[in-house]
Amino acid sequence: MILKTYGHATLSFEKMGVPILITDPWLIGSCYWRSWWLQHYPTNEDLRTLSKSKNIFLTHEHWDHAHFPTLKKYFLNKKILIPKLNSKRLKNSLKEIFDVEEISSNKWFVVGDIKYISIPLYNDDSILLFEYQGYLICNMNDSKPTPQIIKRIYELKREKKLKLILLQSYAPASINNSFRRQDYKKISIKSKNDYVKYIMNTSNKLDAEYFIPFASQATFSRPDSIWANEFKISWEELYKMWGVKTKLLKSYIKFDLDSHQHDTYVDKYLKSKNMDRLGNLKYQNNINAKFDLMDLKYFSKICKSVKYILFMIYPLGINFFLSGNYYKYNFLNEKTVKLKIKPKGYLEMPINEFIESIKNFQFTDLGTSFVMKIFIDSKINIIQTYLFFIFLTFSEKGYFSNIKNFIKQIKLVISNFFPKKLY
């Protein structure tokens, strides 16, 4: 049995050259409004191999994990497996096109020679565990599980005397580095060292034998997101900072789980020839775009279920810089006014992407795309901004849309802090 990683967050189990199961296939093109591109694209031979898989598992809804262009081109008639999360956005968007099935949580399934279990998290992410011939493979992608879940995974490893292979993100994919002062000076909330410390700590707590750098193999190519490349963590930087007994492997690995042999299969990165051209074109489309105040009715819909909470966070409203003008949006009365004077703090983003995101309840994805910048002065509390995005995310996902969804979310949170045994 061969464990192999591709693209960004694709993990494949292959037997006799045929994949038994693959995860999160983003294999072609870009995502997040042509901001994100793959660091290394699979070859045509790789694509032919991966397209043979009958089982495709998506860990969560983020576009670098649930990549619809890839799914449509290579897996249109295949079964798409997803975790049982509170938010039904992923399921609802998939079922219009694909044969999609929610997998029961915390229950072991068998596919071929592999056992696997899906562990949903309260933030609408999930962990996938695989067991094969003395190995426990932990696909943690970019999830942040509670210490209690980490403990359960370790107990499983210890009780069954398994060797653990950990795959986890190790680079920023949020607004942590999107803050700016008025002079455009960048403010980094988390350093590269912070991210490396986190995965080393997880490796230690799980007593992992191997760590595979994962779900961080993207590069950024729009003129308004290229800045994010300086915050990427290269494998060389990761290697220099590595300080635990867990063996650090390469990003693109071929691991024979029967012979225990492993090595990288990538000699050099294969980048898209159209990356810079298409990224720039997407950016240029915003130059002459117009903004209509009526479009903010969609933003009001996003805020509706949490507007009183957002009002407490920003009682004076929140400011936007859109299409060359400054605007203030009031959460309480849902009104927008055009400002004559530049405010001390505001959100800056391309107008086309802003309108598209609010129409599709994907505003918070602008933070992940790195095309949004958050300008603050010394008097503005960064925690306020974090809370603003957290509660907007909750609203977009429908956690507060009705009492039923709220109760389901509370139950999921509780289950993450008091998880059941995994064996």
Contact, 399 vs 412, CB < 8 A?
A: no
Sequence spans of domains, the chain:
2-280, 293-407
Please provide residue 384's backbone torsions phi and psi, each rounded to the nearest 5 degrees: -55, -45
Query: Among 92-106, 140-154, 291-305, 319-333, where is mean pLDDT lowest?
Result: 291-305
The reported pTM is 0.95
Tally Cβ neighbours within 10 Å of residue 167.
Answer: 24
First-residue to last-residue Cα distance in the chain: 23
How does pLDDT run across 161-214, given as a tens digit for each residue? 999 999 999 988 889 999 998 888 888 888 999 999 999 999 999 999 999 999
Q: List beta partners, residue 294.
A: none
Question: In this predicted structure, what is the pLDDT of residue 187?
Answer: 86
pLDDT of 313 higher than 80:
yes
Strand locations in 316-396, DSSP E? 318-322, 325-329, 336-339, 346-348, 373-375
Helix (H, G, I), strand (E, B) or coil at 19: strand
How does pLDDT run across 25-55, given as a tens digit for each residue? 999 999 999 999 999 999 999 999 999 999 9
Options 1.20.120, 3.40.50, 3.40.91, 3.30.1050; which CATH number does 293-407 get? 3.30.1050
Question: In this predicted structure, what is the pLDDT of residue 382?
Answer: 81
Give the chain's mean pLDDT.
94
Question: In this predicted structure, what is the pLDDT of residue 379?
Answer: 66
CA–CA gap between residue 24 and residue 164 (Å, rounded): 21
pLDDT of 314 higher than 70:
yes
Domain 2-280 part of CATH 3.60.15.10: yes
pLDDT of 401 higher than 90:
no
pLDDT of 151 higher than 70:
yes
pLDDT of 264 higher than 90:
yes
Confidence of residue 380 (pLDDT cuts 50, 70, 90): low
80 token code pair: 């798409």
pLDDT of 381 higher than 80:
no
**What number is the average pLDDT over the span 348-353?**
96
**What number is the average pLDDT over the span 128-150?**
97
244 token code pair: 């635990």
Confidence of residue 288 (pLDDT cuts 50, 70, 90): confident
Task: Put residue 106 in one of left, alpha, beta given phi > 0 → left and psi -120 to 50 → alpha.
Answer: left
Contact, 1 vs 15, CB < 8 A?
A: yes
pLDDT of 326 higher than 80:
yes
Contact, 342 vs 362, CB < 8 A?
A: no
Question: In this predicted structure, what is the pLDDT of residue 167?
Answer: 98
Which residues neighbour 339 within 8 Å (Cβ) at sequence distance 6 or greater?
319, 325, 326, 327, 328
Report the amino acid identity of residue 324: G
